[in-house]
Structure formats: C-alpha cells, structure tokens
Structure 1
Amino acid sequence: MTTTSEPRPAADKLDGAVLKVAAVVVLGAVMAILDTTVVNVAIQALTLEFQTSFDTIQWVVTGYMLALATVIPVTGWACDRFGTKRLYMLAIGFFLVGSALAGAAWDIESLIVFRVLQGLGGGMLMPAGMTIMTKAAGPHRVGRVMAVLGVPMLLGPIGGPILGGWLVDAVSWRWIFYINVPIGVIAFLLAWKLLPKDQSRPTEKFDFPGMLMLSPGLAALIYGVANIPHHGGVGATSVWLPGIIGLVLVVAFVVRSLKIPNALIDLTLFRNRTFSISMVTITLFMIAFLGSMLILPTYFVLVRGESALQAGLLLAPQGFGAMITMPIAGRLVDKIGAGKVVLPGLVLIIASVAVFTQVGADTSYGLLLAALFVMGLGMGMSMMPISTAALQTLTQRTVARASSAMNIVQQTAGAIGSAIVSIILASLLAGKFGVPTSQGQLAATAAVMNPATHDAAAVASGDAFASTFTWTLVLVALCLIPALFLPRKPVQPAAEDSEDGTAPPAVMMH
C-alpha cells in the first residue's frame, strides 16, 4: 500500500485570503509613503505659496515625523486593547481627514497642524497593518509577506517624486494632499469589508507614566536634532535644551521600564540576541541610508540644474533595482537565513555609494544611473531581511510591541541621520563659499544660478557633495559589523506562535 503526502500550498505561497488582506495593507502603506515623497518635492512650491522661510516650511515634514514618534509607542498597547482592525481603520481615518484638511490649508500654521494630524494616523497605520498582515500569513511565510509588501513600498520612492513634480507644476500643490483622499476612502472601505474581525483578548494595564516620558522625550529629542542644520551646530538653545530634555526623559523611561512589569516598550526583547543585533544594524542602516537619500535629489537639482520632476525620474533606477531583488531576498531569508542575504546587499550599497564619493559637476549620467540601480539591488537585499531577522524569533505576545519598538528606532535614527548629513553638507558648502553654515546651501544656489559664477560654483558644490558621500560611505560600512552576526540559517518560529498560527509582524520603513 502506498501513501502520498498531502500538499501544503500554504507553506509555499500566499493564498487568496492572505492576498486580500495584503491588498488592504498595501493601499494604506502606499498612501503614507506616497505622501512623504510627494511632499518633499513640493517644499519649494510651498515656500513660495506661503511666502515663508525654509526653516518654517521644513516643519511641514518635521511636524509629521514628530507626530509619528509620539504616537508609535502607544500603538502596541492599542492593538491589544482595541484590536488591530479597529485601530487600522482609525489610523486610515486620521490620515484621510488630515490629508483633506492639509489640501485646504489657508496658511502655513494650519498646514503644519494638519500634517501633524496626518502623522498621528501614519504612526498607527504601519505597525497595525503589518501586524494584521503577518498574523494572516503565519510564521513560516514572514519573508514572503515582507517581499509582497515591500515591492509596492518601493513604488512610492519611484512614483512619488514624479507624481509630486507633475502635480505641483501642472495642477496645484493642494493636490499632493488631495490625492490621498480617494485612496484613503477605498482603503477604509476595503478594511471594513475584508479584514478579519478582531478577537477580544485581555489587555495589560496601560503604562501612562511611560507614555508621558517616552512620547514627549522622543518628540523633544527629534525637535532638537531637526534644528541643528539651521543653527549649524548644537550651541543654540533651541537645539541643546530640547535635546537634553528629550534625552533625560528617554533615559528615565528606560530606567523605569527595566524595573516594572508591562512597560510601554518591552525592553526584555533586547535579551533576544538576534533581535538586539538586528536593531543595531537597523539603527546604523537608517542613519546612513536615509542621510544619503536626503541629499541625492539635492545634488541633481543644485549641481546638475535638473528640475524636481527630472530629479525624481533620475532616482527611478534605484527603485527598479530594489523591486528585482526584494521578492528574491524574501524567499531566500526563509530558506538560508538573513545573514547570507543582508551582507551581500550591504556590499552592493557600499559599492554604489563609493561611486558617489567621486561625483562632480559633469559626472556621467550613465555611471550615476548604474550606481543607483546597484544601490537599489542592495536595498532589496538588506532593508526587509534585517527586519525579518529581528522578528522571526519573537513570540506572539511580543508582536505589536516589537513592531512599535522597531518603528521608533527607525523614525529616530532616520531623523538623526538626516540631520547629521545635512550638517556635514551645509558645513562643506559654507566652507566652499565663505559663508556661515546656515547659509551654505543658499549661497551655493545663488552662485550656481548666476551665469557669471555658474561653472565654478557647480564644481565647488559637486566637491562638497562628494565629501559628504564619503561620510555616508563610512556609516554604511559600519553596518557590516553587526550584520556579520545575523542568522546564517533558517530561523524556526517561536513555540508560542504555533499555538494560534500567528506570527510576528513585518515592519515597513517609511
């Protein structure tokens, strides 16, 4: 008598039910990511529209980040208390209303306030969506889930600058916010219809003292860091005072959390060696990579004289490269371990950034586009697999809070990385043009736009960018150290996960 093994399609691919849930989560993610990239392209148009300074208009972006940092610590508890479906729909609602109001803003102050409202939704949207998605897929398909969700994520950086440039030039800056309204309505209706019902479960007592330490602490810390580029250092009161207050509050939170049960952020997660190594890698990666991404469009606009739309088109090869490797990397992480995927990815990123350390006023576009494509290949092999390594070993009890911890690290490290690279670039430009640090980019822009000084100014500015990329190269190279200790073989899901078929959430970087 012969026996045959039952097929296990669920172990090999994502079924229709999971893909329906994925469609809802992807819509919400694309909405949030598109919003971020589109707004960056419109900064100059907003400055002219509201007749304000660049320092003020930056808060359209920074206010959003502050809101994210403030609301993320609460998301883990809220997922347990109210259910992920309810929280996800609430997050979409906040984002939808914030988008509509931002499009109707009548002055810069109202726009900043409405961007904060968007951020409150965006901060809950990502971890709640990822928790829903990975619970639906199961522990054995975490890598595939990240691959499916990661590809649409990359459409934001590709399409966002292009869409934003077109909307600002051909329609109105208001439509960079209104564009979210139809997407948000569809996402809300699909979430209500397709997402599985929330199951009631006991919740732990909420750590209000911890929230009153961590949320304002992170907000103050990011506020201080965000002010560094304008003041050219840490000597200004608006830099060091909120920075110190924020640091004290965060340290107080850590000390208190180690002594109490049910803390807002479960610091015992860091006793997990793989989780801790992954978090260190993610921190260094976000500082280095987001810093590089910040100045790439500026190089094309300032040194090469491209428009915002053209700069967005020139960045597209990066997204295409990542779209190629990300699905492959997702499968490989499940089969051979994150370490064997992340290390080659980081090497590709290092090689591409090395090209940008040699940029000038007339560097071949073919070389730059090839380097961006290679950088994208490396992104697809490193960004999501690092998160997978952190989350595959966690138990169901730590699902939402682990996602919150990782999102907090990403937002904070990204803000710090952007500030560090901005300071380096501003200082180098200021040195080239003999002006204070806060005036470096303005002086370079004025000199480049003047026909009499254009050529020399473009060369000097190109040198400043090349030197800045050298610093980012060092930061990316440092990621190799913790990445060496990432798992190099498949990770078995934690025992508690198998009880209900759920899994830790993927985390989306945005």
Structure 2
Amino acid sequence: MIDRIPWPVWRVALVVVFGGFVSMLDTSLVNVGLDSIAADLGASLASAQWIASGYLIALAVSLPLCGWLGRKVGVGRLWLWSFGAFTVASGLCALAGDLGWLVALRVLQGVSAGLLVPAGQTVLGQAVGPQRLGRVMSILGIAVSTGPAIGPTLGGLLLNSLSWPWLFLINLPIGVAGIGLGLKYVPRGERGAAPRLDWSGLILISVGLPMFVYAVSRWSERATLADTSVLVPLVLGFAGLLAFAARSWRRANALVDLRLFRDPVFAAATVVTAFAGATLFGAMLLFPLYFQVLRGADVITTGLSLFSLGLGTAIVAPLGGRLTDRYGGGIVALWGNVLTLVTTAPFAFLGAHTDAVTVQALLFLRGMAIALATMPAGAAAYAAVRRDQLPDATTTVNIMQRIGGALGGALFAVVLAAALPRGAESAFQQAFWWVSVASVGSVVCAAWLWLAQRSARAAQRTPAAMP
C-alpha cells in the first residue's frame, strides 16, 4: 500500500500547476506569431526570432539563482513573485510598440518563467515528502509536457481571429487566477537560510549557460560549428560551465551544490532527465516541421495533429506517479524510455503518405511513453536528497534538462537541414533515426538509475556491522 495524500497537498499541487503550465506554454505559443509580429512592428523575421530566442536564453539565465533565492526569501514567496513578474511582463509585451521593447520584455518574462518550474517543484517536494513525490509531481509533469504541445494550436487559433498581442494577453487570466490561489494556499517557506551569495559562481554560470544555449541554437540555424557566431560562444560557454562545475564541486556554499552528484541515485536520475530533455524537446522541434514540410499542413492543422501527443501524456501521467511511488522511479523510467524508443523508431520509416490514423496512434502512444519516461526520473532525483537540499536539486535537474533539450534540438535540426537537399522524406527519416539513438541513450541511463536504486534499497536493508 502507498500512503494517502491529503487534500491540502493536492490543492497546493493544482495551484503550482498554473505556473508550470503557463511558463512552458510560452515556449511554443508565441513562435507561431513571429511573422505577424514582424510585419506589424516593421521588423525583419530574422530580428523577430529574438522574441523566441531571448525568452529561451533568459530561461537558462535565471535557473542557477533559483536555489539561492528560494533559501533567501522562501520558495513559496519566490514562486509568487516570479508568477507576478511573469504576468506583468506578459501584459507589457502586449503593449510593446517596437521590437526592441518586446524583446526586452520577453527576456523579463523568460527570467521569471525560468524560476517558476523549479520553485514549484521545490514547494511540492517540501510539502509532500519523498515517498509521495511521484503522484504529486505527475500533476506538474502534465503541465510541463502538454504546455509546449498545445502552444502551436492555441497560437494558431488566436491569430486566426485576433491580433498578435493576444498571444501575451492570454496569460493574464491564468496569472491572476494562479496568483490569487497561490496567495491563499501556497506555503511561503522558510526565509533567511541562504549563505552568502557565491558571486564568482554566479558570474561563471550566468555567462556560461546562456552562451552555451545560444551557441547550440545558432548551430541549429547555421548547420556548422565552423561559423564564428557558433564556435566562439560555444567555447566560452563550455569553458564557463566547466569552470563553474570545478569550482562548485570543491566549495561548501556554492551557488548550486554539485556535490549532490556523489549520490548515485541523484546522479543517474539527473542524467536521465538530460537525455529525456533531448528526446522530448528536441523531437518537439521536429514534429511540427514533419507535418508542415513533409505533409503540407498549415499551422492550425499541425497544432491539432500534435494534440494527441499531449493527450497521451495527460492521461498516463497520474498512473506514472502512482507506479513511481509504489515501485520507484528507476524501473518506471526504464520502461517509459523503452516505450519512447519503440514509438519513435517507426518515424524513421514512415513516408509522406502514411495514413493519418497510424501517425496519430504513434503520437498518442509516444505521449503515454513520455509520461512514464520523464517525470519518474525527476521524482527519483528529488527523493534522493534531503528536504533542505531540494532547492539545489530542482535547480540542477532543470539546468541539465535545459542543456539536454538545447543540444537535442540543435543536433536534430542540423541533421534535418543537412539532409533536406536530398529530399524531405529521407531527411525526416534520418532525423528521427538520431532521435531514436538519443532514446537508446535514455534507456541505458534509466537502467543505470534502476540499478542505483536497487543498490540503495539493498544497502538500507543490510544491518550495520557490529563494531
């Protein structure tokens, strides 16, 4: 039997979902309106791309500070402040009169959104305890997985009948409702327990992480590492991250406590989330192009075609949570990643004229598999640490997932761009082969997590040796 979760904890989880959903929704919602925004503001499409890129880079910039800020002001307060800043920035984006202001406000929106998901995960982890994390985290997992999936559909529907500011105004009612409920139900957390801010570490990762994300994004556009706009930030970003990791490993009060990786379960679970980020977010770049380029679908049809992916995730996520609490995240993540591989590999064989029923069935099953592959690994990482270590754990897991997503998206985009001159059908087949290879990596790492959890449980059952 697994412990019953009281209603007040479920209530907190449902409130936190507002923040997770809206922050992930905006990763794809606004992208469909870049043409309209550029035309209305008199800017080029290349310049308008910074509306999307600025948001994604800002997401990465804010992540390292989440743990320290959570300890300083309390994770519940951080969640409320971040949600408030995101909502205000959304309203201001709708009022922006030129591209420069819009990009700047999108950066503010991205910084606040980057804090929402890890702060929400910390709130839930501290409220529920390690033995019940799976079921509660599954609710947040639905929001994080389905937000990017339904973004293109919702964006297309809004642009079909309204103007582009509504891409931002739609966040206002969600934000007002979430903040109102949060003020009433979200625990504020303990404040003032943060050590002195590690300024050197902050500078290193604040330069390294966004430059790395920017470089791999440019790599996906340029399809070459030889371009100086790719190579220079890539080298600087990697050097910054490497210096940050080396420094944080030795330092007691580092900005992010990387010594958590000494725990085999946490280390394995975090690596699984990095691979899952590549297969989840990287494939989310391919699937819209698959429908638009290969099957000739418009934006709205593409979004509706991807709805089955999010639906499969939403249906199975609660089951994944229950299985995680009963059997452990390792074995659930292992089977989830196996199923992800099984439902991804067929796309390496499908052609442009494959019937829609087959495609939709595979997407629905892949959505179900993703629910079992991603959330259980994150829950296993958080269950492996102490309550006071959760801010660092959620920060680290989200950074690794962000890096994995950026690398996966860039790699798959480069493979696709390089193969397109030889034909769209073979190009997409080749790209999905690479997604399948990344899925194999996820399976291997999930097996590592399962074995690490088995070893940890065996060590707990073994009586301590007599002196």
The interval holding the TM-score normalised by the smaller chain is over 0.9
Shift of 1:378: 0.6
Match of 2:199 in 1: 208
Match of 1:360 in 2: 351
Q: Deviations over 1:20-70 (max 9, x none)?
A: 212320111122122223123323433443454443332222211211111
Alignment of 1:137-286 (within 5 A): 137-286=128-277
Q: Which residue among 110, 119, 126 is the counterpart of 1:135?
A: 126
Q: Which residue among 452, 474, 481 is the counterpart of 2:444?
A: 481
Partners of 1:416 and 1:262 in 2: CA distance = 29
Q: Which runs of 5 or more residues in structure 2 are unaligned?
A: 461-467
Residue 292 (structure 1) aligned with residue 283 (structure 2): yes
Shift of 1:134: 2.2
Conserved? CA contact 1:94–1:120, under 8 Å: no
Shift of 1:232: 2.4
Match of 1:346 in 2: 337
Amino acid paired to 2:416: L
Conserved? CA contact 2:66–2:115, under 8 Å: yes
Shift of 1:277: 1.1
Q: Which residue among 66, 76, 86 is the counterpart of 1:75?
A: 66
Q: Deviations over 1:264-314 (max 9, x none)?
A: 111110100011111222222212332211011111112212111111111
Identity %: 35
TM-score in terms of structure 1 length? 0.85
Partners of 1:44 and 1:352 in 2: CA distance = 33
Partners of 1:258 and 1:344 in 2: CA distance = 32
Amino acid paired to 1:475: A
Q: Deviations over 1:448-506 (max 9, x none)?
A: xxxxxxxxxxxx212211111111111111211111122366877x99xxxxxxxxxxx
Corresponding residue SS for 1:42: helix
Cα distance 1:420–1:50, how it changes in 2: closer, same or farther (>3 A)?
A: farther
Amino acid paired to 1:233: T
Cα distance 1:474–1:178, how it changes in 2: closer, same or farther (>3 A)?
A: same
Residue 373 (structure 1) aligned with residue 373 (structure 2): no
Match of 2:464 in 1: none
Partners of 2:149 and 2:433 in 1: CA distance = 25
Conserved? CA contact 1:389–1:487, under 8 Å: no
Match of 2:13 in 1: 22
Partners of 1:279 and 1:355 in 2: CA distance = 27
Q: Mean Cα displacement is larger for which, 222-231 or 193-202?
A: 193-202
Match of 2:463 in 1: none
Q: Deviations over 1:313-354 (max 9, x none)?
A: 111111222222211111111111223212221122112212
Conserved? CA contact 1:85–1:197, under 8 Å: yes
Corresponding residue SS for 1:363: coil
Alignment of 1:81-92 (within 5 A): 81-92=72-83
Q: Higher Cα Rg: structure 1 or 2?
A: 1
Partners of 2:33 and 2:240 in 1: CA distance = 34
Shift of 1:19: 2.3
Corresponding residue SS for 1:36: helix
Partners of 2:292 and 2:228 in 1: CA distance = 32
Alignment of 1:297-316 (within 5 A): 297-316=288-307
Match of 1:46 in 2: 37
Partners of 1:418 and 1:50 in 2: CA distance = 29
Residue 94 (structure 1) aligned with residue 57 (structure 2): no
**Richer in helix (by share):** 2
Cα distance 1:359–1:44, how it changes in 2: closer, same or farther (>3 A)?
A: farther
Shift of 1:208: 0.9
Shift of 1:116: 0.4
Amino acid paired to 1:395: R
Cα distance 1:79–1:101, how it changes in 2: closer, same or farther (>3 A)?
A: same
Amino acid paired to 2:278: I
Match of 1:468 in 2: 431
- Count of paired positions: 457
Amino acid paired to 2:204: M
Partners of 1:97 and 1:218 in 2: CA distance = 26
Amino acid paired to 1:73: P
Conserved? CA contact 2:266–2:380, under 8 Å: yes
Cα distance 1:162–1:170, how it changes in 2: closer, same or farther (>3 A)?
A: same
Corresponding residue SS for 2:152: helix
Amino acid paired to 1:184: G
Partners of 2:129 and 2:69 in 1: CA distance = 22
Amino acid paired to 2:66: T
Partners of 2:91 and 2:165 in 1: CA distance = 9
Q: Mean Cα displacement is larger for which, 29-38 or 265-274?
A: 29-38
Partners of 1:45 and 1:399 in 2: CA distance = 42
Q: Deviations over 1:193-249 (max 9, x none)?
A: 222243345321111110011111111111222111332211121111111111121
Cα distance 1:13–1:162, how it changes in 2: closer, same or farther (>3 A)?
A: farther
Cα distance 1:468–1:301, how it changes in 2: closer, same or farther (>3 A)?
A: same
Conserved? CA contact 1:339–1:484, under 8 Å: yes
Partners of 2:367 and 2:352 in 1: CA distance = 23
Cα distance 1:417–1:54, how it changes in 2: closer, same or farther (>3 A)?
A: farther
Partners of 2:173 and 2:18 in 1: CA distance = 11
Cα distance 1:426–1:315, how it changes in 2: closer, same or farther (>3 A)?
A: same
Q: Which runs of 5 or more residues in structure 1 are unaligned?
A: 1-7, 433-459, 496-510
Amino acid paired to 1:465: F
Q: Which residue among 5, 9, 32 is the counterpart of 2:23?
A: 32
